[in-house]
Amino acid sequence: MHIVVCVKQVPDTTNVRINPETNTLMREGVESIINPFDEFALEEALKLKDAHGARVSVVSMGPPQAEVVLREAMARGADDVVLLTDRAFAGADTLATSYAISQAIKKINARPDLVLFGKQAIDGDTAQVGPGVSEFLGYPLVTYAKSIKVEGDTYTVETMMDEGVDVIEGKLPAVMTVVKEASTPRFATLSGWMQAKKADIPRWGAKDVNADLTMCGLDGSPTKVVKIFAPPVKTGGTRMDGREQPSAAVDAIVKLLQEKGVA
């Protein structure tokens, strides 16, 4: 079995701040991490490898620094990795990203058995790239997987839907996206790290993956960002200090609840 996992490097958005004067993102000092959802996707791939034996390839698209996440993936047990990096990919929206990644996957293997994604990337939160790649590869799509089992060429997947869990069965190949309710990601081993540190990370550009430049980067992106602004802040209503006299605070709450007809 050959599994390809797509992993993105993202800023740790918990710490992203806005410069109130210029309304721009302050990225200095913001750490880059593996997109948390992608760690769960990688873990599902490694578990399948443990159970059945599999080749696990990992792809990331991003600037040269994104190499770090690929080393981390290797340290955890990925067999081979590749970094898609090219100025031509800059400014890609989800359509152009899905296209570039699918070109890379096709070059790794014309027909991998399983292609895994995180449910969404925490910087964009779109959850569109996995489904987009399934279109470009012509593979069936299964989203929100929390467990993946494979027997022969048949998979059984538990998926998290809005109102509960669906169990889905189908035949490989497939594209799947993985949620955080899946198994806890393993740590890298020390020997894994030693190896990963030394590894040469191959870099592919648009030409290497035979990409049509009109479908890459900014040019290949139908969506255009036209404005960026800070979210509006609502100013609060009544404020009171309930530290000295909590009972007065409780009275105020009860009064408001009564006014609103809920108590």
Ligand X SMILES: Nc1ncnc2c1ncn2[C@@H]1O[C@H](COP(=O)(O)O)[C@@H](O)[C@H]1O
Ligand Y SMILES: Cc1cc2nc3c(=O)[nH]c(=O)nc-3n(C[C@H](O)[C@H](O)[C@H](O)COP(=O)(O)OP(=O)(O)OC[C@H]3O[C@@H](n4cnc5c(N)ncnc54)[C@H](O)[C@@H]3O)c2cc1C
Please identify, using beta-carbon distances, which residue of 51 and 230 lies nearer to ligand Y. 230
Count of all residues that appear for the chain in the document: 263
> Which residues of this chain interact with ligand X, rule CB under 6 A?
6-8, 35, 37-38, 41, 59-62, 94, 97, 101, 117-118, 120-121, 124-130
Q: How many CB atoms lie within 10 A of CB 84?
A: 26
Residue of 173, 183, 200, 169 whose CA lies nearest to 4: 173
Please identify, using beta-carbon distances, which residue of 122 and 249 lies nearer to ligand Y. 122
Within residues 205-234, the interface with ligand Y by CB under 6 A covers none
Please identify, using beta-carbon distances, which residue of 9 and 196 lies nearer to ligand X. 9
User: For another protein, what does the binding mask look like between residues 16 and 45, x meaning CB under 8 A?
Assistant: xxx--xxxxx-x------------------
**205 binds, options ligand X, ligand Y, another protein, none, Cβ within 5 to 8 A by partner type:** none
Pick from 18, 25, 30, 122: which binds ligand Y (CB under 6 A)? Answer: 122
Within residues 123-182, the interface with another protein by CB under 8 A covers 123-132, 134-136, 140-144, 156, 160-171, 174, 177, 180-181
Which DSSP string do the residues of 128-180 spell out, in sequence order? -HHHHHHHHHT--EEEEEEEEEEETTEEEEEEEETTEEEEEEEES-EEEEE-T
Residue 221 · residue 91 · CB < 8 Å = yes
Please identify, using beta-carbon distances, which residue of 30 and 249 lies nearer to ligand X. 30
C-alpha distances in Å from residue 259, one per residue of 194, 254, 256: 65, 9, 5
Please identify, using beta-carbon distances, which residue of 128 and 195 lies nearer to ligand Y. 128
Residue 120 · residue 126 · CB < 8 Å = yes
Residue of 11, 141, 123 whose CA lies nearest to 65: 11
Task: State phi, psi for 257 to the nearest 5 degrees.
Answer: -60, -40
Within residues 3-62, the interface with ligand Y by CB under 6 A covers 13-14
User: For another protein, what does the binding mask look like between residues 206 and 245, x meaning CB under 8 A?
Assistant: -------x--xxxx-xxxxxxxxxxx-xxxxxxxxxxx--
Pick from 88, 104, 115, 145: which binds another protein (CB under 8 A)? Answer: 88
Which residue type is seen at 65? Q
Residue 12 · residue 25 · CB < 8 Å = no
Please identify, using beta-carbon distances, which residue of 1 and 134 lies nearer to ligand X. 134
Within residues 101-130, the interface with another protein by CB under 8 A covers 122-130
- Give the list of residues 6+ apart from residue 97 with CB closer than 8 angstroms, or none: 61, 89, 129, 132
> Cβ 239 to ligand Y, closest distance in Å?
14
Task: State phi, psi for 249 to the nearest 5 degrees.
Answer: -65, -45
> Cβ 19 to ligand X, closest distance in Å?
24
Using CB under 6 A, list all residues that contact ligand Y: 13-14, 122
